Every structure is written in C-alpha cells, then in structure tokens.
Structure 1
Amino acid sequence: MNLASTLLLALAMSTDAFAAAIGKGASLHKPRLREALRTGLIFGVIEAITPVIGWAFGLAASQYVARFDHWIAFCLLAVLGVRMIQAGLTAPKQEAEDKPQRHSFAVLAVTAFATSIDAMAVGVGLAFIDVDILPTAAAIGVATMLMVTVGVMLGRVLGNIVGRRAEIMGGVILIGIGGLILFEHLTAPAVTG
C-alpha cells in the first residue's frame, strides 16, 4: 500500500468515529477543547490498537489463503464500506435531553471500541496483502484523534447531519481502497519461479 492509500484508509477509518464524536459533542453542554482532546485521545488509541489485533489474526491465517488474499481484502473493505454507507443513511436523529459537561471514560471507551470494529476487520485484510501495520495503525490512530477532536467541537453546533454524511463518505472511500487493492493485484505482472 502506498502513502496515498494509507492516508485515505486512515481517513476512512476515522469517519465513523468522527460521526460518533459529533453525536457526543452534540450531547454535551458546550464541550470545551480539553474535553474534545480527551475524547480524541481515547478514540485514537483504541482505533490504532484494533487494526493491529486484526492484522495479527489475519497474519496467522494468511499462509492458508495466499492465492485469494486480494479478494478477501476487497470483500472485507467493500462490506465495511457498504455497512458504513447504510449506517450513515439510516442513523436516527438524536433527541433533546439533559446535557452533561463530559462523558465518562467508560462511555467513551465503549463507543470508541464499537466504532473501531471495522478497523479490526481492515487489519485482518491488511495482513493478507503484507502491509507494514505499525505505520498504518499509527496513521489511523492519529487521523481518528484529530477527527474526533474536531467532531466533538463541531457537534455542539452542527449536530448529527454532518456526522451521517461523513460516515457515508468513509464508506465510499473504503470501497474505493478495496477496489484499488484488487485492481493493483489483477494488473500486476505475474511472478514466476
């Protein structure tokens, strides 16, 4: 995977967390930058760890599926992309309620883990195409931290509309990356030996 693909993947992986962060920001009473940074850090660390876990699982299985690994990566990314698009199109609007000053660590960690399940699945797919996982996971973590921090701050103003659109865009990017992986494999010269 080249630098552009890594950056696009990091952006795509962070969009569902961005959407969640907008919801978290909208549910808080005037969140401050400190709370946004705290939320971003929690999401970023969890989002960086989960693809490494998925990659480790995928690496253990990669020797058994080497002949069709590119199809697995494509299918995983495409399914995740479609799921993100569907979630963005069907997300319910948040109802008005009493707004706290901040969310507990447990609430943020559970939300971050829920939004990072797709990153774990992407990690599995990345193991099949022999990607250096540490820089990729770091890029995903940093992008998520930045996007979540911005999302919390935007959430107090913009609400759920932007969050849903960001998730749809992330899904489209994931499908595009899956297509690029498949295209690169199918157009690469055959190695004989």
Structure 2
Amino acid sequence: MMKRNLLVIGLAVLLSACGFQLRGTGDVQFAIKELNVTARDAYGDTVQELREVLNRNDVRVHAGAPYKLIISRETENRRSASYSSGARTAEYELTMALEYEIRGARDLLLTSNKVEVQNYYQQDDNNLAGSDQEAAQLRRELRRELIQQLALNLQQITPEQLDQLQQTAEARAKAEAEALEAARRARESQVAPQQSPIELPIQ
C-alpha cells in the first residue's frame, strides 16, 4: 500500500513538473476584477457556470460592477452528418454557439463577439435511450467548451481597453445625438410659416 501511494505521488510530481494540467482545471488570470453577468435566461446552466468560473478566478460578479457582460443569444443546431445503409441518420453534428456583448456606463455597447463549438455523436436506432444520453453528455461538454472559450476571450480584455471603448462609445453617442438634433432643426426651418387666408371684399 505504501509503495502504491509513493508511486501515485511520484507520478503527480512528475506530471506537474512537465506542466501537465487536466483540461478545464487550470487557473485563468483576468485583468478585469469585477463584472456584472446577465442573460435572457438568468437561471440557465450557461450563465450559472460562467459566474462560477469567474468567481473561482477572483472576478467579483455583482450588479454594481462598472461593466456588464450580457449573454444575448444561445443557440443549438443539429444536422445529419452521415447515414446508415437504410438511409437513416447514423451520426449527428451538434453545434452550439453563444453571442455576447459588453456594455458600460449609460448601457452603451462597448464590444460584442461570438463563440462556437461543435462535435459529433452516434445515433443508434436500436438503443435510442443510449443515444439520447450520449447527446446530453455532449451538450454538457460543449457548454463547458463554450464557457472556456468565452473565459479566454475575457482574459484578453483589460480595464484600460474597456475605458477606451467607453470613451469611444460616448463620443459616438454624442455625435449621433447632435446629428439627430441638427436634422430636427433643419426640418423645422424648412417648414413654411402658415399664411392667413386672403379675405376678398364683399361686392
């Protein structure tokens, strides 16, 4: 028993020395230290798992954060990838995508992006329950990959970049407001004043 424990410990030390890490267990360093995270489905698995990932990596997720990450759309698409000899689907391609945006002060849009993952699973007509379980397991794995990709994208963003995007968004919003105001004034100036009807003398 002692030899077995020593062997396990020795393998763990060797693997860690080689830089080996189990997939999904490595720490992700975020420059952003606080973020509000919302989604259309506020209690969905994706947004809940994303919040957990951020919290585990020292990102404070709360409603009062200066920037908001919004999961604007989450889609899933399944299509036949191959067929059996009986013209039945033998393999499906499952694609999951996640669209998100980051908004700052005054709810101004700062940036938006999309992450997408896909994989395949077998369809066994003789074991539909097993095929459904395989599909459900694949969905969970793809969701984790989506969150991992999103986390890596967020890792590349710094508060300085967000501040610059905020300034750009505010300047753009101001220019658009001024353009709308100028257009309104132009329309008003082009409206001819109404003239009183001419009264003809009664004969």
Give me the TM-score of the superposition, normalised by structure 1. Answer: 0.26
More strand by share: 2
Pick 1 or 2: higher relative contact order, CA cutoff 8 A, min separation 6.
1
Give me the TM-score of the superposition, normalised by structure 2. Answer: 0.25
